[in-house]
């Protein structure tokens, strides 16, 4: 019997990371997020910052990773590093899913683990709520206008969408790619996690 796996995709500022962490705590199962970047850095001897840039912001490849590439000569060291990061990410996420029941946030885990049929959650929110959340989480010295903060939020969403499409050839945030979409402008991440945990405990024999 395979482990029970939950994957969480999220818009920036929606509270998806918090929801995933609280859900793992409420269910008493493993939680994986930034640990994935740390482990990739160890295995590739690249800095965590560089791995983070490749994974979440700047995929550097002349073609989508989902298409055949045997014809392409890997002479560019940046291309080789990018492929190494993606391969390790795939391996690490598979290993994590095989260890135990878990919640995995982001990093195309829903696609990588699709044959294991995880519960795929996407967390989104309305822009005023996302701006408010970002302000609450921001360092004290940061004083962005609403317009500047909105621009920053949309930029990160665009990068996540590009990354997801690059890796999966699918549309990030499309409801057809998920089993459950949660609007945290209507229900807090804490309350959503608690309600979802109650509904899922029977699947875990709790």
* Bigger pLDDT: 22 vs 39: 22
Closest by CA position to 13, among listed 189, 199, 190? 189
Q: Domains along the chain?
A: 5-201 (3.40.50.300)
pLDDT of 77 reads: 67
Residue 148 near residue 31 (C-beta atoms within 8 A):
no
pLDDT of 20 reads: 96
Whole-angstrom Cα distance, residue 39 to residue 35? 6
For residue 188, CA distances in Å to 125, 126, 168, 198 come to 10, 12, 29, 15
Is residue 194's pLDDT more than 80? yes
Residue 102 near residue 32 (C-beta atoms within 8 A):
yes
Q: What are phi and psi of 115, to 5 degrees?
A: -75, -15
Whole-angstrom Cα distance, residue 161 to residue 5? 22
**Residue environment code for 127-152, b if the CB has 16+ CB neighbours within 10 A, otherwise e:** eebbbbbbeeeeeeeeeeeeeebbee
Residue 180 near residue 121 (C-beta atoms within 8 A):
yes
Q: Picking from 14-18, 60-64, 128-132, 142-146, which range would have the lowest pLDDT averaged per residue?
A: 60-64
Mean pLDDT of 162-186: 92
pTM of the model: 0.83
């Amino acid at each position: 019997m395979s482990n029970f796996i939950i994957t969480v995709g999220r818009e920036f500022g929606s509270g998806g990371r918090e929801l995933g962490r609280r859900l793992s705590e409420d269910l008493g199962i493993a939680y994986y997020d930034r640990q994935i970047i740390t482990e990739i850095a160890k295995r590739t001897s690249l800095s965590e910052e560089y791995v983070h840039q490749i994974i979440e912001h700047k995929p550097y490849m002349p073609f989508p990773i989902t298409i055949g590439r045997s014809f392409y000569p890997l002479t560019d060291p940046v291309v080789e590093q990018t492929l190494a990061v993606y391969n390790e990410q795939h391996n690490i996420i598979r290993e994590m899913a095989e260890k135990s029941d878990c919640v995995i946030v982001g990093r195309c885990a829903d696609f990588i683990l699709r044959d294991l049929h995880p519960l795929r959650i996407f967390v989104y929110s309305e822009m005023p709520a996302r701006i408010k959340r970002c302000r609450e989480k921001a360092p004290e010295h940061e004083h962005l206008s609403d317009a500047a903060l909105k621009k920053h939020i949309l930029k990160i969403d665009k990068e996540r969408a590009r990354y997801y499409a690059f890796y999966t050839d699918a549309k990030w945030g499309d409801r057809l790619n998920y089993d459950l979409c949660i609007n945290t402008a209507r229900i807090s991440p804490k309350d959503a996690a608690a309600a979802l945990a109650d509904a899922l405990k029977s699947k875990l024999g709790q």
